[in-house]
Structure formats: structure tokens, C-alpha cells
Amino acid sequence: MRRRIRITGLHCASCVRRVEEALLAVPGVSSARADLVSREVTVDCDPAAAEPGALERAIEGAGFGVLRADGGGEEAAERERLRETAGLRARVLVSAAFAVPLLWVSMAPMAGISLPPWIARHGALIQFIFCVPIVGAGLPLFRRGLLAILRTGRATMDTLVALGAGAAFLFSVAESLRHPASGPAHGGGHLYYETAGMLIAFILLGRWLEAAARGKTSSALRLLVGRESRTAVVRTAGGETAVPVEEVVPGDVVVVRPGEKVPVDGRVKDGESCIDESMVTGEPMPVPKRPGDEVTGGTINGPGSFTFEATRTGSDTFLAHVVALVREAQASRAPVQELADSVAAYFVPAVLLVALVSFAVWIGAGRGLGFALTVAVSVLVVACPCALGLATPTAVVVGVGMAAARGILVKSAAALQTAARVDTVVFDKTGTLTLGAPVVTDVTPLGGRGAQEVLRLAAVAEKRSEHPLGGAIVAEARGRGIEPPDPDSFVSRGGRGVEASYGGTALLVGSAALARERGVDLSAAEEALAAREAEGKTAVLLAADNVAAGVIAVADTVKEGAAETVAALRAAGKDVAMITGDNARTARAVARAVGIDRVLAGLLPAEKAEEIRRLGAAGRTVAMVGDGINDAPALAAAGLGIALGSGTDVAREAGGIVLVRDDPRDVAAALGLGRLAMRKIRQNLFAAVIYNLAAIPVAAGVLYPAAGILLHPALAAAAMAASSVSVVSNSLSMRRAWRR
């Protein structure tokens, strides 16, 4: 059983590791994965082995709070996020209101500014009074940090803050008791009230900015969830009744009026309208809907009214599947994150060790307790495991959300990372590069007849045919305004063609071989037949009263954007190939049309998969693009399977990325997004690592002997906050970069 539990108090990679280890220690839990961005933990457990409430107790025992169990209610989660952000904002305002006068009282004498005598006389007490509300505003930091190390013996980012600010505050209180008039104005003992106050104020400011920025990373998911309807109007024998959407079941007849959301998935029964399906496909143009057409829950109705029969409700709807898929992908971990997680496991203990060593070294060097304390506090505060922990998940959340808004469903962070490494793209032909349904491409009249007449006679003969080629001819005739009448007689010749009669004229539509058997003279048609077949098309002959009357070419036409996609992939340095079970002549014709040089034709599904594995064994990172059951083995064998949304369920399950719009151009877009996301992740990790490698030694005072540079704890806190915010902001910049 899988459970999702939202928790509070998750702030850094160390927190993530601690809550995961606490849950894994619960009997019956097989896996636990916490997400720093969504503040949600996903747990796979055996309900028979896990005691009721055991998961919640484990989370609370590790020092975290349980907000809401079993996921769900994204709106409630958003309300909690806004409440948290508002709470942080209030704490920031309180800390700022007292930090400014505290800084003035403590630092003014050092700047040569005289204080009023009564303030100078009671400087220590006044600083204490100003500092206490700031400490109160930061009390959650102290509580979480100290509880973490007391309950589990492991330190977190909050532990570093609590130790740093707490040491400065308690040392100042002790000095104030020893020297009531201490401070810069009186030359007493060292006071660090402003250090503790400014440190907490900057930490709270950073947490507030980080929370606000982190909330933006999940905006795409909230937009999807916001599409869900809350009520539906159901038509029954007793009339129309508005009911909660959860009560709609398959088979119900639902009424949708102009401007309303379609509440669930279904099929139109009565009425017509145009529906905004941009949520599903990313396309802005409304789509006409008539009886028999499918409608999707969450889409928005246009000017018409209609009724439809519900086919999928609740968690089975398309929108529910998309939301679940996006949430799962955003919570997943990219392989590149494993390194950051490994570093984070040892980061906080290492920082504590550096702070202690720095304190001891400066005490031993004779710099005094105050100097050594300043260095130790700066080291504790400047270190930022948060930036390391946020580097990967924020980019994944933003990338997956952006893709979903465009109709590209990324199933996992690993798929996003693989997309960045793809160097070879292999396309299936039918239904992927082509429409997957035959259409008439050419009509060549013979014997003095016009093209319209040839098409009309062929459509009459094929009207009763169930063969796809016959259906394509009838559809083309109707598309040109020709409604073919029923033939007087009709005989199907088993896939070779049909024979019919109409108005006393004997008609034959079929292969050249069938025409020859019936004694038709093909001399006038041979050139047209050969030309169409050389183009990889199926050439169909029309004979009227045993005389060749025309040649109709039928082909599976190339999708719009297919050639553009191949060109874009080649421009990006990818090798492009086509693999198909169709015959070589037809495959080469399609390949020429889209600009693909390498073609593998006539392959069975197992042979397709073997070819993909062979490319992988040669060191290529292969993306396989397909849509059918016969593509599923190759999709599974590829480094990255990209399935078209119009394809079979089997193909979509095998794909790591699903293209809802069925547009080949989204292949290039998906791979481009993977490259962009990985570039942002590398930038984030580089910035986080370089920041910590540079900031910690400076805070430890390595530059002080040579250059006299010493990092004040307040500046250290500001730098730490800035590093976390910069990582989140860099991930958010993906939205602008991808639009360009």
C-alpha cells in the first residue's frame, strides 16, 4: 500500500534523510521518499505489518509534524502553504521591527555616534529587551534544531542555526549579568545581542523568500488541480440535479451549459459545442464536439450546451491520472541527486566539527573568547545544506510542471535526466511519423474523364466496403462534396479490390492484378501506376466497363511537423533513424519525406527491441518514439521511451514520457526540456558546492591573518539565505528560458 503524508519542519537535505530513516525503521515499510519541495513523504508499506498510526508516530518522533495524511486535497495543502508563508512573513516583520533599533543601540558607538546617556547607561538591558522578541520569533528554529539532536542524535540546518544564535544570545546574557553596563559605550564585556538578533532576522527572511519561491515551483500542479470541478448537473427521470462531482458514476447523463467546466470524462449524447482543451493538449483553439465525441473532465465548454454520458469518474479520469502522474514525477529523484544526498548526510556533522576546531584554534591563538565565538557562530550559520538539498528537486518540479502544461507528461525525474543525455532518436513509422490511417493523395483521370467523376465512381463502388483503402476513397469523395449513392450490386474480392455496378456501368476498383484477371487493358494506366508505387503509395485502379478510367493513390500521410522535428533533432546533434514493420519501399518513401536517412523496415516487435538494445550496447543513449502495442518492447528496451498519447495503453505504460498532443514536434521539445533541466541542476549544484567551499573557510577566519577579513555572523546568515533563494530562483528561470 502506498501512502502520502504531508509533514511540517522539513527544511534541508539532512531533514529529508532523517525522516526517511525514521520511517524505514517502522516494521512493514519497504520504502520511504521525502520531497523537500512539496513537504510530502511517500511511503510504501504492508498494512498488515504496520500498526495504525505507526507512520505518524515515527515522523513526530523524528522531530517533524504531521500535517495531513494520505495526500489528497491539494487545495488544503495550498492553504497550509499560504498559512506557513504568512506566518513566516509575520515573524520577519517582528524580527525586523526589533532588529533595527537593536543594531542602532549596539553599533552606533562603534560608528562614532553618541547615544543618549540613559541608553548608554543601560545598553546591555536595552539590547536584551530588543533581542528577546527576535528570539521569540525564531523560537521554532530553536525548537526544531534542538529536538532533532536530542531525539535522534543527528543535527540539521535548524540545529546549526539554534547553536549559532543560541550561543551568541546566551553568551551575551551571561556577560550582561557580569557587567550590567557592558557594551561598546562602556568598554565592558563582549555583547553579541545584535549578532543573535540579526542572524535570526536574516534566517527568517531567507526562509520566507524561499517559501514564496518554492510555492511558485508547484504552480503548474496547482493549476491542473484547479481545473477539477466540484459539482456536476446530472439528468435523471426526475429532472436535473446538482451533485458533488464525487457522486457521479459511469453511465450518468451529465448536463454542461455554456462556460461551465466538463466535470468528468464522457461521450457526447446530445447537443454541440466547442471546448477549450488547452489543459489536455496545450493548443489554444477550441475543439468542436458533436454526438459521439469524447470529452475530458476539467476542460471548459464554449458557447453551446450539451449532455454527455459519463465514462470515467473519480480517480479514473484523464485529469486525475495527469495530476497523479505529475505529483509522482515531481516527488521522484533524479540519479544526479544521489550525490547531493550523500554529501548532505555528512555535511552538518562536518560543519559542527569545523566550527569546534575553528573555536579551539582561535582560542589557542590568543584571540580571546569573543573573537573565537564570532568565528564559530559564523561557521555554523554560513553553511548551507539547504542549497544542496534544493538544487535538484526544484528544477525537477518546475520542469515536470511546465511539461505537463504543454501536454508532455514526464513520468519521473530519471526520465528527465535521461532526456538530457539522448544522442539517438528512433521513430516508429505508422501512427508516429504518419497519421496511421490511409488517405487519398492523388487522383489521375484516364480516358477523358475528370478527377471528380473518377472519385465519384470509385466511391460508389467502395461505399459498402469495409477495407481501409475503400474507406479512404469514400472519405475523400465526401470531403470534396460528393455523396456517393449506393451501388446496385457489390462484391468484395478479399483484399484485392471490389466489383460493383451502378446505373448499368460495371465498376472495378482494386489492384492491377485483379484488373488484368478481368481483362482490363492497363496500357494507359501503367505510367501512373508505376509513378505512384515509386513514391511508396498504394495505387488503386478504377475500371468502368472493363476500360481503365483512373488511378487513385492512397497513402498513410506524414504528420504535420514530422519533417520539422527531424530537422530540429539533427540540428541539436542527434542521430535520427526510423524502425518499422512495414515494407521497405513504403518506409523509404516516408523517410525521404521527413528527412531520415537510416531506415530499418520489415521488423517484428522483438526484432525492433533487439535493434534498440544493440544501439544501447554500442554506447548510445536511445530514445524510442512509438504509439502501438508492437512498439512496447522497443519502448521498454530504450534508454528513454516516448509514447504518443493517441497510442495504446501498453505503449503509454512502457514510455517514460507521454506526449498527450500526439504531435511529433513535442519530441524535440521534451528532449530540449531535459537538457534545460539538467543544465539548471548542474548550475544549482555547482553554485551550492562553490558557495559552501568558499564561505565556510572565510567564516572560519582563514583570511583574517593575511587580509584582516572576518565574516560577521549577521552577514553569514544573509549569505546563507541568499544561497537558498538563488537556487530556487535559478530553477524558476527555466520557465522563461523554455518559452524562448
Mean pLDDT, all residues of the chain: 83
Pairing outcome for strands 424-428 and 622-626: parallel
How many angstroms separate the CA atoms of 539 and 554, rounded? 6
Q: Are 584 and 482 within 8 A, CB to CB? A: no
Q: Is the model more confident about 267 or about 736?
A: 267
At 248 the pLDDT is: 92
Residue 539's φ and ψ, nearest 5 degrees, are -95, 125
How many angstroms separate the CA atoms of 248 and 263, rounded? 9
Q: What is the pLDDT of residues 158-174, one digit of tens each?
A: 777 778 788 888 888 88
Cβ contacts of residue 248 below 8 Å, gap of 6+?
Answer: 232, 234, 254, 263, 264, 310, 313
Catalytic residue among 428, 556, 631, 663: 428
**Is the pLDDT confidence value at 29 over 50?**
yes
Q: Are 179 and 124 within 8 A, CB to CB? A: yes
Which residue's entry shows cell 546566551? 170
Q: Is the model more confident about 361 or about 33?
A: 361
Q: What is the pLDDT of residues 86-135, one digit of tens each?
A: 888 999 999 999 988 988 887 766 666 777 777 777 778 888 999 999 99
Q: What is the pLDDT of residues 381-419, one digit of tens each?
A: 888 667 777 788 888 888 888 888 788 888 888 888 999
Q: What is the pLDDT of residues 385-395, one digit of tens each?
A: 677 777 888 88
How many angstroms separate the CA atoms of 456 and 477, rounded? 6
**Is the pLDDT confidence value at 323 over 70?**
yes
CB neighbour class for 449 (10 Å; exposed up to 12, middle 13-18, buried from 19): middle
**Is the pLDDT confidence value at 345 over 80?**
no
What grid cell was written down for 572?
A: 541539436
Cα atoms found within 13 Å of the Cα of residue 532, Cβ hemisphere only: 22
Average pLDDT value for residue range 573-577: 95
Give the pLDDT band of residue 283 (cuts 50, 70, 90).
low
Nearest-10 crossing angle of helices 562-571, 584-594: 70
Q: Is 428 a catalytic residue?
A: yes
How many angstroms separate the CA atoms of 37 and 220, rounded? 14
At 502 the pLDDT is: 94
**Is the pLDDT confidence value at 189 over 90?**
no
Q: What is the pLDDT of residues 289-304, one digit of tens each?
A: 999 999 988 888 988 8
- Looking at residue 183, the DSSP 8-state letter turns out to be S
Q: What is the pLDDT of residues 684-731, one digit of tens each?
A: 889 888 988 899 999 999 999 989 888 888 788 788 778 878 888 898
pTM of the model: 0.71
Q: Are 91 and 98 within 8 A, CB to CB? A: no
